[in-house]
Amino acid sequence: MRLILLGAPGAGKGTQANYIREKFGIPQISTGDMLRAAVKAGTPLGLEAKAIMDAGGLVRDDIIIGLVKERIAQDDCGNGFLFDGFPRTIPQAEAMIAAGVDIDYVVEIDVPDVAIVERMAGRRVHLASGRTYHVAFNPPKAAGKDDVTGEELVQRDDDKEETVKKRLSVYHEQTAVLVGFYGKLAESDSAKAPKYVKIDGTRAVETVRDEVLKALGA
């Protein structure tokens, strides 16, 4: 099972990725994890990437693709892998195809921006314990207070409405175009084209999980 998980920040990709990993026994691979591991291991590509990052530059796509090929050749990818947050751009997607990295499925968790803003901007956290609440969906017993300690809840900077909207804007500019790219690829006659699955992510987590796994033949 070799798949790519697409969706905006806050669409619930992380939660669904965990279910997919457990079901198929495959690792979840992100660009950041790959870069950190290659840098730590001191591989030639890792050292090259480190030099670029230390200089404040963006790691080139050819290096990223090289790291991908190294990573998926490792033993834990024997049953497949789940790419999370990669590819981020069409050039990366095209480079992956050119490098012969085959994908079985592209799964999009589709949630409208307005629902994502509501989800994320409503989150509140008790920092000391990590307990999380939502002003609409899972409110504390007393407004703004942790149920256990009575201490103040906070809204993390990442969850503030303006931050969420900014992240969504970046997603639509850079990554949302992959939805169209892989959609068209799936409609082509190419034997190498992955199947494209679009899942309504606005429903209950368990409902989304069941539909994702069913679409993947589990």
Catalytic-labelled residue, pool 13, 119, 124, 209: 13
Please name which of 32, 97, 108 lies closest in space to residue 71, comparing C-alpha atoms: 32
Q: Which of 21, 23, 165, 167 is catalytic?
A: 167
What's the pLDDT at 171? 87
Predicted pLDDT at 113: 96
Contacts of 179 (CB under 8 A, 6+ apart): 6, 108
User: Which residue of the set 88, 131, 165, 198 is catalytic?
Assistant: 88
Residue 197 phi/psi, 5-degree rounding, is -125, 125
13 in active site = yes
Residue labelled with tokens 């998926």: 72
Contact between 120 and 84 (Cβ < 8 Å): no
42 is in an annotated binding site: no
What integer pLDDT is reported at residue 32 of this predicted model? Answer: 81
Is 71 known to be catalytic? no
Ligand-binding annotation for 100, yes or no, is no
Where the chain has pLDDT below 70, the residues are none
> Residue 86: its pLDDT value, please?
86
Determine if the pTM surpasses 0.85. Answer: no
Query: How much is the pLDDT for 190?
Result: 76
pLDDT at 191: 75
Is 156 part of the annotated catalytic residue set?
A: yes
4 strand-pairing partners = 83, 106
